[in-house]
Every structure is written in structure tokens, then in C-alpha cells.
Amino acid sequence: MQQILRRKSMLGQVREHVSGLVEGLKDEIDTMQMDILQSNQVLRAFRQAPWRIQTQTLAWLSILILGTLVVGGLYLAVASRAGNAGRDLQAYETAKTELVRENDRLRAQLADLRNMDRMAARALGMGFVPATPEQVHYIEVANYPQEPGPEPLPVTVSVPVPETADEAAAAAMSARADQGWLTQSLTGLYETVFGAGKGE
């Protein structure tokens, strides 16, 4: 009985001790929570400090401005190069036009210097005179290359003499239809030069 009572007493003591320990732990936990709470408050206060927000804002603005400057700079560089290229192109077009004009002018000047009046006057001035047939002597040169004669006629058309005026008119119309030579030739020519079926 006494043992039971002793054990009960011991259990009570243990229980009290444990309770004490638990209470102590609770107190420590509360203390720690308080500490944590206080730490969070400090941290929040730190985070929400005006100088820190301003610094961040300033940083973001700086990044934005820097980005804008980089993009704008790139754009300006590209635009500047495109502008320069365009200006060069305009200059080349102008130079090309001027060179074509100059070329034309020189060609006209050269042709003017070869003008028949000028050439004839120079020849006469140098003592040349037009040759007469009697002054020309032809000599035969063996195997001398002959100038090619005219192209052979495509067709030698034999036109029978018409018996009546109507037939004659028809024949004349037929012959005039050969003005097709010109129409066809010109059409083919135009297509050769400017291409077929191209509008303005």
C-alpha cells in the first residue's frame, strides 16, 4: 500500500515536474514567438523604409531609361545609316544622271566634229578633190573577199495581169496587204524591244 502510495507520490512529483517543464517550454516558446514577431516587425519596417523604396524606384527608372536609351541609340544608329545610304543613293543617282548627260554631250560633240561639212572642208583644205570615174583604177585581187550581196528575195511573186478593174483592185488590195510587212515587222519589232503584251 505504502509502495502504491509512494509510487503515486512519485508519479505526482514527476507529473508536477513535467508540468513545470511544459510550462517552462511554453514560456520559452512564447518568448521566442515574441522575439520572432519583433524581428518580423523590424524586418517589415526595414523593407518599408522610404529610402529603400526610393532607391528601388530609382533603380527601375534607371533601368528603364537605360533600356530606352539603348533601343533609341540603336534606332538612331540604324536610321542614321539608312539616311546616309539614302543620301549616298541620291548622290549616285544624280551623278549617274550627270554622267549620262555628259556622255550624251560628248557623243554629240564627237558627232559634230565628224560632221560632213567639216570633214569635206578639211579634205578640200588638205588638197583632196572628189575623184572622177576616169581617175579610179580597179585592179583584180585574187580571192579578195566579196561584200555580201542583198539577201535573197523571200518569194518572187508573179502577179498575173488582171483582166478587169475589180480584179485589179483586188490585186492592188492584196499587194497592199503586203504592207503587212511593215505592220508585222513593226509589231514583231515592238515586242522584241519592249516585250509582248505589256501595258503602260
Among the listed residues 5, 116, 126, 196, the single contact to another protein using CB under 8 A = 116
Among the listed residues 46, 134, 145, 196, the single contact to another protein using CB under 8 A = 134
Q: What is the secondary structure of 8-68 as a DSSP string?
A: HHHHHHHHHHHHHHHHHHHHHHHHHHHHHHHHHHHHHHHHT-HHHHHHHHHHHHHHHHHHH
Among the listed residues 105, 121, 124, 187, the single contact to another protein using CB under 8 A = 105
Based on the shown chain and the rule CB under 8 A, indicate whether residue 131 belongs to the binding site for another protein: yes
Q: Are 171 and 162 in contact (CB under 8 A)?
A: yes
Q: How far apart are CA 114 and CA 107, in angstroms?
A: 11
Q: Are 171 and 159 in contact (CB under 8 A)?
A: yes
Stretch that binds another protein, among 26-34, 49-57, 64-72, 183-191 (CB under 8 A): 183-191
Residue with cell 588638205: 126
Q: Are 46 and 52 in contact (CB under 8 A)?
A: yes
Interface of this chain with another protein, residues 5 to 64, rule: CB under 8 A: none
Based on the shown chain and the rule CB under 8 A, indicate whether residue 140 belongs to the binding site for another protein: yes
Among the listed residues 21, 59, 120, 121, the single contact to another protein using CB under 8 A = 120
Q: How far apart are CA 166 and CA 156, in angstroms?
A: 24
Based on the shown chain and the rule CB under 8 A, indicate whether residue 115 belongs to the binding site for another protein: yes
Q: How far apart are CA 158 and CA 175, in angstroms?
A: 11
Contacts of 168 (CB under 8 A, 6+ apart): 162
Q: How far apart are CA 178 and CA 155, in angstroms?
A: 12
Total residues interacting with another protein, rule: CB under 8 A: 67
Based on the shown chain and the rule CB under 8 A, indicate whether residue 189 belongs to the binding site for another protein: yes
Residues 141-160, mask of contacts with another protein (x by CB under 8 A): ---------xx-xxxxxxx-
Residue among 45 and 111 whose Cβ is closer to another protein: 111
Which residues lie near another protein (CB under 8 A)? 79, 82-87, 89-90, 93, 97, 100-101, 104-105, 107-108, 111-112, 114-117, 120, 130-134, 136, 138, 140, 150-151, 153-159, 161-165, 167-169, 171-172, 175-176, 178-179, 181-182, 185-186, 188-190, 192-195, 200
